[in-house]
Amino acid sequence: IVLEAELKRAIEDRELVVYLQPQVDANSGTLVGSEALVRWPHPERGMVSPGAFIPLAEEVGLMPELGDLVISLVLEALQGMGDKAVPTSINISSDHFLRSGFVTYFQRQLEESGVAPHLVKLELTESVLIANKEHGIKVMQALRDLGVKLSLDDFGTGYSSLSYLLELPLDQLKIDKQFVDALDRDQRSSSVMKHVISLAHELELEVVVEGVETQEQWQRVAAAGADLIQGFYFFRPLPLAEFQQQLP
C-alpha cells in the first residue's frame, strides 16, 4: 500500500513521470496525438501505476499538487518534441480543475513553456459539473479562450448523459473501452457506436475511441466513423524516449 506521506514527498520531489500513449488516425493508423498517463518510478516497488496512488491522492486532497506536476511534465515533454510535437491530452481531476485560480495558473505555465496552446488538450469527466455546473462551464470557457482544447473522457460510463454533450463547450469526445468490448459481443453495439459518433460529429466534436486491442475492433471502430483511436493494438503508454522515436 502507498502511504500518504510517501506520496506527498514524491510529488514535492518531482519523482513522478509521465508516459505518453499514442493516438492514431482511425483510417491510416498513423500517430497523430497522445495522452499523458502518470507513473511513479518507486525505488523498491518499480513503476507504480496510477491505479495504485490516484485514489489515495484524491482521498487526501493531493490531486491539485499531483496535477500541477503532471502539467509541467507534459509541457516539458512537448518542448522536447520541438517541431514534431503532436497534440497531447492531460487528465485533469475535478479538485484540480475547480481550484480557485486554476485558469490563471495554467495560463502562466503555458506562457512560460512557450508551448502552443492548441497542442494541449485537457481531459475532463462529468464530475467537474457535479458541484456547480454554471461554474464548471465558466472555467471550461476560460480555458478554451486560452486556445487549449477540451475533451470529455470516459463517455459511456457513469453518469455521462447526452444532455452534457449539448451544454458543454467541448472539442472532443472520448468513447470508453466498454463500447469497444461490446462490439465483440453483439451486433447492435456497432450500430450504437455509429450513432453516438454521428451525434458527436453533428455537434462538431472530434471522436476518439479508446481500448482497441484487435484488428477486428479497429475495422469496426473505423467503419463506425471514429476520427482517432487509442489502444493497445497500436501502442501501449510509452516512456518519453520511446514515444519520441515513434514520432513521424
Q: How near is the Cβ of 5 to Mn ion at its closest, in Å?
A: 28
Q: Would you count residue 35 as binding Na ion (CB under 5 A)?
A: no
Q: How near is the Cβ of 121 to Na ion at its closest, in Å?
A: 13
- The stretch among 6-14, 90-98, 152-160, 227-235 that binds Na ion (CB under 5 A) is 152-160
Which x/- pattern over 113-152 shows residues binding ligand G (rule: CB under 6 A)?
Answer: ----------------------------------------
CA–CA separation, 64 and 57 (whole Å):
9
Q: How many CB atoms lie within 10 A of CB 165?
A: 18
Query: Among residue numbers 169 through 198, which ones bind ligand G (CB under 6 A)?
Result: 177
Q: Would you count residue 227 as binding Na ion (CB under 5 A)?
A: no
Q: Site residues (CB under 5 A) for Mn ion?
A: 91, 123, 153
Q: Select the residue interacting with ligand G from 56, 213, 225, 240 (CB under 6 A).
A: 213
* Angstrom distances, CA of residue 154 to CA of 5, 38, 211: 30, 17, 11
> How many residues belong to the site for ligand G (CB under 6 A)?
21
Residues 6+ apart with CB under 8 A from 153: 91, 123, 124, 125, 174
Q: How near is the Cβ of 47 to ligand G at its closest, in Å?
A: 10
Q: Would you count residue 237 as binding ligand G (CB under 6 A)?
A: yes
* Angstrom distances, CA of residue 193 to CA of 84, 156, 187, 189, 225: 32, 10, 11, 6, 9
Q: Would you count residue 211 as binding ligand G (CB under 6 A)?
A: yes
Q: Select the residue interacting with ligand G from 23, 88, 91, 189 (CB under 6 A).
A: 91
Beta strands 206-210 and 228-230 are parallel
Q: How near is the Cβ of 10 to ligand G at its closest, in Å?
A: 14
Q: For binding to ligand G (CB under 6 A), which residues are involved? A: 21, 37-38, 49-51, 54, 70, 91, 93, 153-154, 177, 210-213, 230-232, 237
